[in-house]
Amino acid sequence: MIAASVSLPADHAAARPQVGLVRRSLGFALDLLILTKYRISAVALFTGYAAIAIHGTYATDWNHIWPLLLAMFCAGGSANTLNQVFERGYDAVMTRTRHRRPLPDGRVQPWQAVVWAVVLLLAAVAINLWIYHSPLGAWLSVGLVLYYSFFYTLWLKRRHHLNIVIGGVPGAMGPLLAWAGLTGTLTAAPIAMFLIIFMWTPPHVWALAIRIRDDYARAGIPMLPVVKGIDETTRQIFFYTVALVAITIALPFLDAAFRRGWAYPGLALVLGGVFLLWAWRLWRRRPVMPTMPLFRFTIAYLCSLFAGLTIDGLMSR
């Protein structure tokens, strides 16, 4: 039997490499986006916009604020990219990350990621300086990258079980970056919003860390559940939750910026009560309750609080 040979038209054959190139380019672009940890960066943008809404002047002037939001994304994306460059060896041995992140999977080379991080940081600095004339915003962007990528990732994270507490500063900087970019200064309102996120971070991260403590132990990262055990971790979750809820409820009495409406105070009171009860049951109940539902609730909790701040800010304009 003689096999028939089929020849493709010349234009079709030439198109196949082009299609492959487009797919590889799109895949590479997606991997660069993954390096920014865009979900985390989106939360930072959300909290930053809440600060813009509380400030009020430019809350709905999107032509004015969209470059600032882009600068915030670039600063956070730069820090997150360098974090993954430095942690690619650890990510390679953790089940949660070894195939999901581009560097341990070999889809992006380390030098490419470093170039990408530098480009993002330069963009953040340029936007703050040239569009908003805010040296403070530029310096905070640089500080975010240095703190998270070098101080936290290279030094703190592998040396102390309270790494996530001290290392919570960069993740809480969304309101500071937004306010500094708009005004060139900082006041009590963005600092209070920073404090909310800072105190929220340990219960949020430790709820996940309990679930994946074996991964952290395999990678040699001294997270609290690995070093001190689950009982101590649940105790710390409860005490940090008490402090967090106390701060969120007290703020409307301390600063007029947080009592412009009823959305934020109401959410702080109701969701804070749920958070406290959940954290208390997690600490006292044995065997320990599953922590992933609490982890997901902490995300909804923070987003709801800042949505309340945004609503109050917009409604008071």
pLDDT in tens, the chain (317 residues): 444 455 555 555 555 666 667 787 888 899 999 999 989 889 999 999 999 999 989 999 999 999 999 999 999 999 999 999 998 887 887 777 777 888 888 899 999 999 999 999 999 999 999 999 999 999 999 999 999 998 988 888 788 888 888 888 889 999 999 999 999 999 999 999 999 999 999 999 999 999 988 888 887 888 999 999 999 999 999 999 999 999 999 999 888 888 888 999 999 999 999 999 999 999 999 888 899 999 999 999 999 999 999 999 998 76
Calculate helix-pair angle for 62-86, 174-183, nearest 10 degrees.
Answer: 140
Contact 112, 106 (CB under 8 A): no
Classify residue 107 by burial, with Cβ atoms within 10 Å: 0-12, 13-18, 19+: middle
Residues across the chain: 317
Q: What pLDDT sits at residue 13?
A: 52
**Domains by residue range for the chain, with CATH:** 36-315 (1.10.600)
Please name the residues in contact with 109: beta carbons below 8 A apart, sequence gap of 6 or more: none
Instruction: Please say whether the beta carbons of 45 and 74 come within 8 A.
Output: no
pLDDT score at 165: 85
Q: How many alpha carbons lie under 13 Å from residue 312 in its C-beta half-sphere?
A: 24
